[in-house]
Amino acid sequence: MNDFFDDNNYEIGLAAKKESPIKNEGHLTVDVYQTDSEIIVQSTIAGAAAGDIDVSVTTDIVTIKGRREPKERIKPSDYFHRELYWGPFSRAIILPVDIDADRAKAIYTNGVLTIRMPKLKSRNKKLKIAG
């Protein structure tokens, strides 16, 4: 039972955090799915205020960046178990289809960020071959 309350669990969390592509940043988990007309990205970002989250969208990439801070400062020696990540976080997602970045919308409710991006219609054009 004492193994649950040692620093090893905290160290495992740190090792996972160090694998983030950007040093000292947390990595967000996301769901990415589609409807007939939209690509939707959702991420749980508990502990962050809407003003601390930045979403940037291009036709093929969504980037979510931000920061979350704990409400109280706790000395590391006072923790029994620590898994939550506090500080900067980011995630870039390559989208499976091109989207209309100008009409994309983001909503943050109850700790869940939802980004809705309309798909661009395929613009195929038949070319006449000059000969």
pLDDT at site 17? 40
Q: Is residue 125 assigned to a domain?
A: no
Q: Is residue 124 assigned to a domain?
A: no
Count structural domains, the chain. 1
Cα–Cα distances (Å) from 98 to 28, 45, 85, in that order, read 22, 25, 32
Q: How far apart are CA 119 and CA 100, in angstroms?
A: 6
Nearest one of 99, 81, 108 to 9, comparing CA atoms:
81
pLDDT, one tens digit per residue, over 11-67 is 334 444 444 444 678 889 999 999 999 999 999 998 899 999 999 999 999 999 999
Domain harbouring 81, CATH code = 2.60.40.790
* Token pair in block for residue 77: 């020696």
